[in-house]
Amino acid sequence: MNELPADVDLGAHDLREWVELGLARAGHLLTAGERLIAGRVLDLRGPPARLYARLTARRGTISRVDQLAGLGVPDGEDAAAALIELGLADTLVPWPQRASACTVKELKAGCKVAGLPVGGRRDDLVQRLQSHRGWSQQRWLRVRHRGLLRRMGRWATWRRHPDRAAQVVRRLGHVRWPEYATTRGAALHPDRRHLIRWEALVRGLDVLPVDDLLVALENETHWAPGRLDLRRSLARRIAAHGREIERQKQPDQARGVYERLIATGHVQPSELAVRIARTFESQGSGRQALATLADSRAQASPVDATAIARAGRRLARKLRSSWPPDRPRRSPSVRDIRLSEAPLEGPRPGYRTRTGSAPVEAAVKDLLASLGRVALHVEGGLWRTLFALLFAETYFLPVPGALPTQLLSGPVDLGSPAFARARQQAVDEVLAAVRTGQAAQRVHAADLKWRGVRLRGASWDIETKLLVAAAASLPASALAAILQRFLDEGWSASRGLPDLVLFPGPVVAVPGALPSKLPAGLVLAEVKGPRDSVRDEQSVWFDVLLGAGASVELWQITG
């Protein structure tokens, strides 16, 4: 583990890391002036570095000079002067903006100086001072270049909304970057013009008209590698807009939005088949609605097929028609477990544990621990970590364009079906080894090599022995099925996996449960509270895992 010196200011260190990573990944997209500013930020040391890190991490852009010591910078005025000289801050704070940042007491004093009434609410005081100047002698500081730093943060973290606080978490665990040879290919953005259009789209996701969002999909403005790609966000917002038009009783217009979204090629017809069928049904065209569902059924994903079949059966009954039956899905055995309810802060119900109260999953874990059994609340994290360990070597194969720069935790196509297509031979070799019972051995060896490395998908909070135990105890065909769905559908396939893994241990009887006896082997359990129900994604995973030989149960919790 690479430890930082004890006297290093972590905020300033994190800011420099953002800028360094951003320059390494896409510095060629910056103007000469932007590169100059980035260099000045990298050169900051001591109090100016500390102050700039604090100011750029805050929500607002302005601060009172006499309050800078409250940010942990005792010699704040000198540090502020240094930032002003470097062009990283200035004192050009408009008077209306100063008013918005003042306390009520300061606003009343300002109104008195300006000869204005001092009574009323805070908003009234601010409004009165909007057009006045010189009502305060306080000195203000405005931090500059936050937009540039946000851009560098996106490049550093591969997230649209970078959070510098997340670097604290990474420092506690992921401390080393993997070493690999870079491969030429598509850049982070093809050129600066595309970057500017992409950033404008990020800012406008919540406000742009649906036609503009559709044009962005059609023109590929959304594109960026990995998690920066806006395709899914655009598709969700466009579909949600169509749904809103449906609610306004405009089925023709809603169907037009859905069909144009499908025409972009970024959404499969089966994903919107139910909604399009609803628009036909609302116009009295039930037969057309049923035909729409039937036509999309064959190409649908398992989750979409579930929704299509449910809508098809309902509509067929209404029309006194027929709907071809689906293959019956396997359902897990149900175990009723009684827990005592206990107050818990937040929206979720709480249950009593040995140390207080907790959400249902933690309460079940505590109950199992009291019986000598180890359980892990994973919600996909365990399986993504096993995927990362088993395919770690595959991550860094020299696939053109997949590793365009250093300091990546995985290739840019990871988490999409393109990952497997570009490395088919290596992927098939890993899957073959898993199917022949070599998973535990490979996971153990990979954990020794990669633990502590920033490896996409891996959670180093999970102990090595639990990772190996899961790989050894889960039937090989079941682990291969999980890995295959990740390869086929990307990381989103993890939605719906059972949220609790009960590791092998002694056979025990759970007090108040029916049936009460827990088997000795590994069990995958979906825990449901009294008001929870099984989602489509979960029913699909039940069928896949049970068909592959895994032990899967549905644990219904009662109070």
Residue 14 to residues 9, 21, 27, 36: CA-CA distances in angstroms? 9, 11, 18, 19
CB 339, CB 367: distance < 8 Å: yes
Q: What is residue 186's predicted lDDT score, i.e. its pLDDT?
A: 63
183 — pLDDT class (breaks 50, 70, 90): confident
**Which amino acid belongs to residue 265?**
G
Topology adopted by domain 192-319: 1.25.40
pLDDT of 520: 95
Reported as a pLDDT band with limits 50, 70 and 90, residue 159 is confident
Highest mean pLDDT (candidates 19-33, 148-162, 464-478):
464-478
Q: How far apart are CA 264 and CA 255, in angstroms?
A: 14
pLDDT of residue 172: 53
Query: Looking at the predicted structure, is the pLDDT value of residue 1 above 50?
Result: no
The answer on pLDDT for 149 being more than 80 is yes
pLDDT value of residue 170: 56
Give CB contacts under 8 A, 24+ apart, made by 437-445: 437/476, 439/386, 439/390, 439/471, 439/472, 439/476, 439/479, 440/468, 440/471, 440/472, 442/389, 442/390, 442/471, 443/386, 443/389, 443/390, 443/467, 443/468, 443/471, 444/468
State residue 156's pLDDT score: 84
pLDDT over threshold 70, residue 7: no
Return the pLDDT at 6.
55
Q: How confident is the model at residue 293 (pLDDT cuts 50, 70, 90)?
A: very high
The answer to whether the CB of 417 falls within 8 A of the CB of 488 is: yes
Which helix (H) or strand (E) element contains residue 63?
strand 62-64
- CB 496, CB 464: distance < 8 Å: no
- Count the Cβ atoms, other than its own, within 10 Å of residue 128: 19
Token pair 């990871």 is found at 414
Which residues 6+ apart lie within 8 Å of 497 measured at CB? 378, 379, 380, 383, 482, 524, 541
* Per-residue model confidence (pLDDT) at position 171: 57
pLDDT for 157 equals: 81
Q: Give residue 526's pLDDT.
A: 95
- In this prediction, residue 174 has a pLDDT band, given cuts at 50, 70 and 90, of very low
Residues 494-539 pLDDT 10s? 999 998 999 999 999 999 899 999 999 999 999 998 888 999 999 9
User: At 392, which helix (H) or strand (E)?
Assistant: helix 392-395
Please give the pLDDT value at position 175. Answer: 58
Structure tokens, 215: 């044009």
**Host H or E run for residue 275:** helix 273-282
User: What digits encode the pLDDT tens for the residues 62-115?
Assistant: 999 988 888 888 888 999 999 999 999 999 999 999 999 999 999 999 999 999
Question: Model confidence over 480-497: pLDDT tens digits?
Answer: 999 999 999 888 889 999
What pLDDT shows up at residue 5?
59
Q: Across the chain, what does the average pLDDT equal?
A: 91
Average pLDDT over residues 241-261: 96
Q: What pLDDT is stored for residue 141 in this prediction?
A: 94
Q: Are 436 and 479 in contact (CB under 8 A)?
A: no
State the pLDDT at residue 387: 97
| Contact in structure between 412 and 26 (CB atoms under 8 Å) | no
pTM of the model: 0.81
Three-state DSSP class for residue 437: coil
The whole-number pLDDT of residue 4 equals 55
What is the predicted pLDDT for the residue at 173?
47
The tens digit of pLDDT for each residue in 401-416 reads 888 877 788 998 898 8
User: Residue ranges of the domains in the chain?
Assistant: 10-172, 192-319, 333-558
CB of 308 within 8 A of CB of 293? yes
Pull the structure tokens for residue 325: 């039956």
Average confidence (pLDDT) over 273-294: 96
Measured torsion, CA atoms of residues 363, 368, 372, 376, in degrees rounded to the nearest 10 = -80
End-to-end CA distance of the chain: 46
